[in-house]
Structure 1
């Protein structure tokens, strides 16, 4: 069963409370998303660690209920 964009956003915001999250359904199938996650709490972290935090927030759903996620992380401007 596909995952709703709102569920992805809720999981990320629960784990990274200061995050601004934008989710886009890339294929319209609820299975391929892009996510842009902007958070001050990423400051000082290498990009790979920022991505790990987001994937950790998804609690192992990557590759299962969530087939593909094109992820971009950033610091607030």
Structure 2
């Protein structure tokens, strides 16, 4: 069993990952048929690295993509 941040049964410690998994399932898994494990791995990698990190804006990042937010952080902090 994975380590827990808070006491047993408190669902808040996994809420962010559960939300992300839900989005991945709705946007990729439910809409894609992969014939092999390798196809599935490539599709998931592309969904995360290309779409989510480089194209999807995130409200928690001031409506920037993670790539844009990372570049802005490094521009400010060297």
Q: What TM-score, normalized by structure 2, do the two folds share?
A: 0.30
TM-score, structure 1 normalization: 0.30
Larger Rg: 2
Higher fraction of helix: 2
Query: Bigger relative contact order, structure 1 or 2, given CA contacts below 8 A and separation 6+?
Result: 1
The structure where strand makes up a greater share of residues is 1
